[in-house]
Amino acid sequence: MLASGSGSNFEALVNYCRRKDVLVATVCLLIVNNPGCGAKARAERLGIPWILINHRDFDSRELHDAAITNTLKKENIDLVVLAGWMRIITSELINAFPKGSLLNIHPSLLPAFKGGAAIADALLAGVVKTGCSVHEVVLVVDAGPILAQAEVLITKADDHESLSAKIHQQEHLILPPIVLAKARHLAQNYG
């Protein structure tokens, strides 16, 4: 998994994979780009290996993504989940994996509210519902095939914090089963 922030989706997926009935996939590595991020602390607590590949150490997005790709390939990783990865992904990473092997979770009902401020944008737009989407990563940001969505109602009392909490709750429910389904599919393809 790749994460830049709090890592609550990372933790939800780790816990889901550890349940006895879903021993199909293992979260084997967390890559973070921010040294102090919550995701790293969660990985330490959960006993999941993590590595810092800090974008500030690279001259371009492509070089950063190349370093990430090398690490993933070295670890024989089949499926990459972006959960709060606040970086735009380049072809260096996308083209290194078969189509559909990179997934992202986004806090809106795509195609509505693409981009890095989806929750604020939904509040600003005054819509009565938003949600979250799991989708395949393609070169165009937040535009890949959608695999699952969940709706969240917005009330007059909602602010960024409360809406974000409601969306996270749904994300933790929809992301893990989709990742597991993908993992099963990959396992079948490998025979």
What is the contact surface with ligand GRF in residues (CB under 6 A)?
Answer: 3, 5-10, 83-84, 105-107, 132, 167-168, 171
Distance (Å) of CA 33 to CA 1, 17, 22, 174: 12, 24, 29, 25
- With 0-12 CB in 10 A as exposed, 13-18 as middle and 19+ as buried, what is 35? exposed
Residue type, 75: E
- Rounded distance, CA 114 to CA 168, Å? 17
Name which of 63 and 173 has its Cβ closer to ligand GRF.
Answer: 173
Number of helices (H), then strands (E), in the chain = 6, 7
State in angstroms the smallest separation of the CB of 83 from ligand GRF: 5
The answer to whether residue 135 is catalytic is: no
Task: Give the active site residue among 106, 135, 168, 172.
Answer: 106
Name which of 72 and 82 has its Cβ closer to ligand GRF.
Answer: 82
State in angstroms the smallest separation of the CB of 153 from ligand GRF: 17
State in angstroms the smallest separation of the CB of 157 from ligand GRF: 20
Name which of 100 and 116 has its Cβ closer to ligand GRF.
Answer: 116
Residues belonging to the active site: 106
